[in-house]
Chains A and B, each alone.
Chain A
Amino acid sequence: MSKYPVKNREIMQGSIAVAETIGALEPGVIGVYPITPQTHIVEHLARLVANGAINSRYINADSEFSAASILYGAASAGVRSYSASSSQGLLLMTEVIFNMAGTRLPGVFSAVNRSLSPPINIQVDHQDTMTLRDSGLIQIYVENIQEAVDTHVQIYRIAEDREVLLPAMVCMDGWIISHAYEPVTLWQEDAVKEFAGSYDPPFKVDPRKPLTYGALTDDDKITEFKYMVDSALCRTENKIVQAAELFREEFGNFHGDVVEKYYTDDAKIIIVAMGSVVGTIKEAVDRMRAGGKKVGLLKIRSFRPFPAAAVRELLSGAEMAIVVDRSFSASAGGILGSEIKANLYHQNGPVLFNYIAGIGGRELYPHSIMEIVQESETAFSKDCVPDGAVFFNLNEELL
């Protein structure tokens, strides 16, 4: 018997494991719209509702835009809500997500990461969720199925904390996490529910206490409203750390808090990445360490709030930092790379390399990572560090 509230441990598909976890949390309102590779999650939730296993109101929306708006409505009425989407669907939700953050309504989304059109492609990269980064949304990127499950258990108590009250998104790579099968521990419903707590917002729409939601403000007040979103998201950093610690105590698993470090202490070279490629990078680090190279990995778990202090602290001792980005801002480099760079300014920190790689599902193997490290080391030793980001492994013949 485990001392932790294990329900069962079995080989499961990532989407099903996440849907089972959401089922255990039983959000009052679920708003859905299909898009690959997210669909297995909402299909499984539909089965749970159809079988009477959960009591949620399951709403087949007319678009992702409406699905997100349904969450807005439910959250404003004080009920916990959930949706999942990918790629184009997440972009269609964008206007609503800014709106939820601005009105401080904490719906939860699973984002199953997928490339954006064109060309249309259903494989993983991070362009979809990274495009939402300025909204005020909490974003946690997970590495594997177990972390996806555990982060969904943690996310409601973070988002619904009265000092936070922001929408939140668990970002999990399409296919590599959503469709892979791995041994997974699922947790007992009551333990999961207890960990999440209940959604008890200070304000809600209620005829007994009529309030106005979504008022109009002019320049005399709007900056303050925006500032409050910014500071709420900053406060979230601590809540993520606390949730991860408490989860470790009560469930025994730990996947990092806002970041996870892997052999960073004495590392001369630190690779920075998020999502499933982190597992691949860990393998590459092990191999390079076996060859005597002092290399480590900094996994960014919370991209929003951005863990600026942890990034500065952990990278400060390294000679080189190599950011592997699965998204970019055209003409301005990798998005994660740019933010890491901005946070190292005036820090006398490492020389920064930024690779844009793994776009639209292009496979990244341990040897790809080792190649990136090798290339960066050569450039470093020759003192010819590239000015901006580098697209890894471009096929020149197609250009």
Chain B
Amino acid sequence: MKGLARENYLAPGHNACPGCGVSIAVRLILRAIGNNVIVVSPTGCLETFTSPYGMSAWEVPWVHSLFENAPAVASGIEAALQYKGNPDTQVVVIGGDGATFDIGLGSLSGMLERNHNILYICYDNEAYMNTGIQRSSATPMGASTSTTPVGSKSYGEALPKKNMLTFALAHNIEYVASAAIAYPRDLMNKVKRGLDLKGAAYLHVITPCTLGWGFEPDETIELSRLGVQAGIFPLVEYENGELTRVRKIKELKPVKEYLGSQKRFSHLEEAEYENVKESIKEIVRQNVKKYGLLER
């Protein structure tokens, strides 16, 4: 692929779990960006596994301040670069779903609305993984987490996942897209597109988590692909509010296969949860319709 850095700006030897989807995503992201960048990350797994003092894995300047302020810190950096007359250095946030969907939402909204020249990348592993798999508003319906456990009165997470693409689009920014680590070329192209356009851009990357989702470390990429192929994670691209590209699917993989490959959904196999599975299938049907996912 042209214009990609050969260097690996996320040095090996960091503390990510084997099979961690986030480390794969970040390595790809940094290859697409190159090294004229300042990266900001909120507190979370990525921060924790890359930044033990004296053993940082970051080969580019990297700032971690707090869990809920990465977009504002990035805004300050971007403003400082503008003030210094250095508009060529890119400012990129790479933050988890908890930081993005929940606690940093106001800060993110402010940054998008002010339209700073910042690419915001949410790596979505669908829960607060760093603190032990508690639910976030990115956790999908039916998933068992440590704060939405399954019990006689609970089938796991009761609410559907928040739609962050719609949230980002509400800010009238130029670029909004979703990507998955199973499609690296697509992911890196989207990173580049987000950087090329001036102003704020939002990129959502699905990063399966072996511990939190419950699958084997060598299945990460497969699971990422399955999520896309089952219509759970549509890969889409918006420019100026218009849906410009969709990764089409030849034949939808069954939702059952996706759910069945992860421990967090294992309880759904029981007949009593048929209605939960129906709701998840309905979400897929809506995705298919909304984005025109199927090739025809």
| A70-B73, A74-B79 known; A62+B53 contact, CB < 8 A | no
Which chain B residue has the least Cβ–Cβ distance from A75?
Answer: B76
Distance in Å from the Cβ of B194 to the closest Cβ of chain A? Answer: 18
Flag if B76 contacts A70 (CB, 8 Å): yes
The tally of residues in B whose CB lies under 8 Å from a CB in A reads 44
B 228-280 contacts with A by CB, 8 A: none
Flag if B61 contacts A206 (CB, 8 Å): yes
Flag if B107 contacts A74 (CB, 8 Å): no
| A76-B73, A95-B66 known; A217+B80 contact, CB < 8 A | no
| A57-B82, A212-B51 known; A62+B61 contact, CB < 8 A | no
Distance in Å from the Cβ of B131 to the closest Cβ of chain A? Answer: 14
B148 is an interface residue with CB less than 8 A from chain A:
no
CB 8 Å contact bits of A208-225 with B (1 = contact, 0 = none): 011111111110010000
Flag if A62 contacts B106 (CB, 8 Å): yes
Distance in Å from the Cβ of B181 to the closest Cβ of chain A? Answer: 24
| A59-B75, A59-B79 known; A65+B56 contact, CB < 8 A | no
Please name all residues of chain A whose beta carbon is closer than 8 Å to the beta carbon of B77 when the two chains form the complex: 73-74, 76-77, 205
The tally of residues in A whose CB lies under 8 Å from a CB in B reads 44
- Which among A70, A74, A213, A221 has the highest number of chain B CB atoms within 10 Å? A70
Cβ-neighbour of A210 out of B58, B75, B83 (below 8 A): B58
Q: What separation, in Å, do the CA atoms of A69 and B54 have in the docked complex?
A: 25
Please name all residues of chain A whose beta carbon is closer than 8 Å to the beta carbon of B64 when the two chains form the complex: 213-215
B 165-202 contacts with A by CB, 8 A: none
B205 is an interface residue with CB less than 8 A from chain A:
no
Distance in Å from the Cβ of B111 to the closest Cβ of chain A? Answer: 8
Q: What separation, in Å, do the CA atoms of A212 and B65 have in the docked complex?
A: 11
Distance in Å from the Cβ of A126 to the closest Cβ of chain B? Answer: 26
B294 is an interface residue with CB less than 8 A from chain A:
no
CB 8 Å contact bits of B55-94 with A (1 = contact, 0 = none): 0101111111110110111111111111110000100000
Flag if A28 contacts B52 (CB, 8 Å): no
Please name all residues of chain A whose beta carbon is closer than 8 Å to the beta carbon of B74 when the two chains form the complex: 73
A311 is an interface residue with CB less than 8 A from chain B:
no
A 78-96 contacts with B by CB, 8 A: 78-79, 81, 95-96
Flag if A207 contacts B68 (CB, 8 Å): no
Distance in Å from the Cβ of B3 to the closest Cβ of chain A? Answer: 17
Flag if B79 contacts A72 (CB, 8 Å): no
B285 is an interface residue with CB less than 8 A from chain A:
no
Q: What separation, in Å, do the CA atoms of A209 and B106 have in the docked complex?
A: 32
| A207-B60, A210-B60 known; A74+B80 contact, CB < 8 A | yes
B 5-38 contacts with A by CB, 8 A: 35-38
Please name all residues of chain B whose beta carbon is closer than 8 Å to the beta carbon of A61 when the two chains form the complex: 72, 75, 110
Distance in Å from the Cβ of B220 to the closest Cβ of chain A? Answer: 24
Flag if A65 contacts B68 (CB, 8 Å): yes
Distance in Å from the Cβ of A254 to the closest Cβ of chain B? Answer: 34
| A77-B76, A99-B66 known; A210+B107 contact, CB < 8 A | no
| A57-B82, A207-B61, A213-B62 known; A62+B73 contact, CB < 8 A | no
CB 8 Å contact bits of A164-186 with B (1 = contact, 0 = none): 00000000000000000000000
| A62-B106, A77-B81 known; A69+B73 contact, CB < 8 A | yes
Distance in Å from the Cβ of B62 to the closest Cβ of chain A? Answer: 5
Which chain A residue has the least Cβ–Cβ distance from B82?
Answer: A57
Distance in Å from the Cβ of A46 to the closest Cβ of chain B? Answer: 15
B114 is an interface residue with CB less than 8 A from chain A:
yes
Distance in Å from the Cβ of B46 to the closest Cβ of chain A? Answer: 11
Which chain B residue has the least Cβ–Cβ distance from A103?
Answer: B65
Please name all residues of chain A whose beta carbon is closer than 8 Å to the beta carbon of B113 when the two chains form the complex: 62
A71 is an interface residue with CB less than 8 A from chain B:
yes
B 102-130 contacts with A by CB, 8 A: 106-107, 109-110, 113-114
Flag if B83 contacts A79 (CB, 8 Å): yes
Please name all residues of chain B whose beta carbon is closer than 8 Å to the beta carbon of A77 when the two chains form the complex: 38, 76-77, 80-81, 84
Distance in Å from the Cβ of A94 to the closest Cβ of chain B? Answer: 11
B48 is an interface residue with CB less than 8 A from chain A:
yes
Q: What separation, in Å, do the CA atoms of A70 and B118 have in the docked complex?
A: 14
Distance in Å from the Cβ of A229 to the closest Cβ of chain B? Answer: 15
Flag if A29 contacts B79 (CB, 8 Å): yes
Flag if A65 contacts B53 (CB, 8 Å): no
Which chain A residue has the least Cβ–Cβ distance from B77?
Answer: A73
Q: What separation, in Å, do the CA atoms of A69 and B73 have in the docked complex?
A: 5
Q: What separation, in Å, do the CA atoms of A31 and B116 have in the docked complex?
A: 14
Distance in Å from the Cβ of A302 to the closest Cβ of chain B? Answer: 27
A343 is an interface residue with CB less than 8 A from chain B:
no
B141 is an interface residue with CB less than 8 A from chain A:
no
Cβ-neighbour of B52 out of A79, A99, A215 (below 8 A): A215
Q: What separation, in Å, do the CA atoms of A55 and B80 have in the docked complex?
A: 12
Flag if B79 contacts A62 (CB, 8 Å): no
Q: What separation, in Å, do the CA atoms of A185 and B94 have in the docked complex?
A: 48
Please name all residues of chain A whose beta carbon is closer than 8 Å to the beta carbon of B75 when the two chains form the complex: 59, 61, 66, 69-70, 73
Distance in Å from the Cβ of A106 to the closest Cβ of chain B? Answer: 13
Flag if B66 contacts A215 (CB, 8 Å): no
A and B contact pairs by CB, cutoff 8 A, 9 listed? A61-B110, A62-B106, A62-B107, A69-B75, A96-B66, A206-B38, A207-B89, A210-B60, A212-B56
> Which 3 pairs from chain A and chain B are nearest by CB?
A73-B76, A62-B110, A69-B72
Known: A57-B83, A77-B77. 18 other contacts (CB 8 A): A28-B79, A57-B79, A67-B72, A69-B65, A69-B76, A73-B40, A73-B65, A74-B80, A77-B38, A77-B81, A103-B65, A207-B61, A210-B61, A213-B65, A215-B53, A215-B64, A216-B48, A216-B51
